Amino acid sequence: MTERQVDAAATLVTGVGVLDRVIAILDTVERAPMGASELARHLGLSVPTAHRLTGAMVRHGLLRRDGEGHLHPGERFAVSALSGAAEPVLEELRGETGETAQVWVRRGEDRLCLLTLDSRAELRATLPAGTRLPLADGGSAAEALEGGVAGDWYESVSGRTPGLCSVSAPVLLHGEAVAAVCLAAPVARVGDAGPGRLYGPRVVAAATRIERALATR
């Protein structure tokens, strides 16, 4: 074992092998991004094991790959800062529009409502924080999380829930959608204009403000 491998192995102290390897991988790529094969050599893992572990970690958002295939800590680590960055922005968005403002994040094949500030109107769209919905069920937040492009907004009118509409924009970090800002309202209050034309630019601006806040944390 090389000196570098000894240093890495010294952090593996719990005796829970898979967890220790995951932490060693995170510690390593935080210091120096690298590919899975180089990571295997660095930590003394077999190449198939390194590829299997890093592949699973990418799928769970613990790692991300850049354009050169180097591994970095993933978007899950931005979520801890996301609520704090998003709450004042959602407060302002709700105040400007009078409608329910939310932040959604991806969890595998689902989306999770991380934060919601409900409209104060008696008739309103509402889902509690912690709600989990399949991405396949659609909705503007699902579209923003799956196909998010900077400056774009996505609209849904009675798509997932009849009588409700929404407009969402992706929050990007390292070029990937780590969250979606969603403004949801009853169709009756939005009217023929639709939520995108009415509120799309404001939702995009809110998402951009959260991106900038995350980038400084």
Query: Could you check whether 3-73 and 76-215 share the same CATH topology?
Result: no
Specify the pLDDT at position 11: 52
pLDDT category of residue 76 using cuts at 50, 70 and 90: confident
Specify the pLDDT at position 36: 94
User: How do beta strands 164-173 and 176-186 pair?
Assistant: antiparallel
Which is more confidently placed, 5 or 134?
A: 134
Phi, psi of 179 (to 5 degrees): -165, 170
24-35: burial string, b at 16+ Cβ within 10 Å, e else: bbbebbeeebbb
When mean pLDDT is compared over 76-80, 182-186, 189-193, the highest value belongs to 182-186
Specify the pLDDT at position 186: 97
Specify the pLDDT at position 7: 45
DSSP 33-84: -B-HHHHHHHHT--HHHHHHHHHHHHHTTSEEE-TTS-EEE-THHHHHHHHH
Over pLDDT 70: what percentage of the chain? 92
Cα separation, 38 vs 69, whole angstroms? 11
pLDDT category of residue 2 using cuts at 50, 70 and 90: very low
- CATH number among 3.40.470.10, 1.10.10.10, 3.90.180.10, 3.40.50.970, domain 3-73: 1.10.10.10
Q: Tens digit of pLDDT for each residue in 7-55?
A: 444 455 677 888 889 999 988 998 889 999 999 999 999 999 999 999 9
Is pLDDT of 198 > 90? yes
Query: What would you measure as the largest C-alpha separation in the chain, in angstroms?
Result: 68
pLDDT category of residue 217 using cuts at 50, 70 and 90: low
Domain residue spans in the chain?
A: 3-73, 76-215
C-alpha Rg value of the chain to the nearest Å:
20
Q: Tens digit of pLDDT for each residue in 101-140?
A: 999 998 889 999 999 999 999 999 999 999 999 999 999 9
Cα separation, 131 vs 154, whole angstroms? 20
Pick left, alpha or beta for residue 138 (phi over 0 → left; psi -120 to 50 → alpha; otherwise beta). Answer: left
Structure tokens at 212: 């900038």
- Specify the DSSP element, H or E, that contains 107: strand 100-107
Specify the pLDDT at position 150: 74
Output the CA–CA distances (angstroms, integers) from residue 145 to 65, 84, 156, 167, 174, in the order listed. 17, 20, 14, 12, 14
CATH 3.30.450.40 fits 76-215, yes or no: yes
DSSP letter (8 states) at residue 192: G
